[in-house]
Amino acid sequence: MPESPVATVLAAIDAFDIDAFTALFAPDGRLLTVDGRIANGREEVRQVIGRFSADLRATSHRLTAEWHPEPDVWIAELDATYELTNYAQLGPYARAIILRNGSGGIHELRIYGLHERPLSDSTRGYQEVFGSGRWLPTL
């Protein structure tokens, strides 16, 4: 059975292979990250994933469930663990991904969790999550 596009995306991220990650996208592909960053088109996708990777020494993702409800749609649940450049370890954090594929590559990749601050802003993970001007409890 061929690897799912979600597994391919996660493998590229975990390998810090920005070229491979970017090449998975259609020329007009769109990326939404868990902390709310949006990239439209391959060049913006490259920039966003490059900034994300710059804060990390290591990352790992473990798929816990995956669905393929339509020919070009994949939905997945996963756990994400990060090691920052200062060696702080964060996670695992629950994530959900929706991927819409097409003939030219990924048309849309949405990564959900809580709209967190960038990982490098805190080594205490979910203890300091704010939104709408107030502290948000974690689930």
Class of domain 5-115: alpha beta
List of residues 6+ apart from 41 with CB closer than 8 A? 27, 28, 29
What does pTM read for this prediction? 0.80
Per-residue pLDDT of the chain in tens (139 residues, 90 and over written 9): 458 999 999 999 999 999 999 999 999 999 999 888 899 999 999 999 999 999 899 999 999 999 999 999 999 999 999 999 999 998 899 999 999 998 899 999 999 986 466 666 655 554 555 554 554 444 4
In angstroms, the CA 9 to CA 25 distance is 10
Distances (CA, A) of 131 to 30, 50, 139: 24, 25, 14
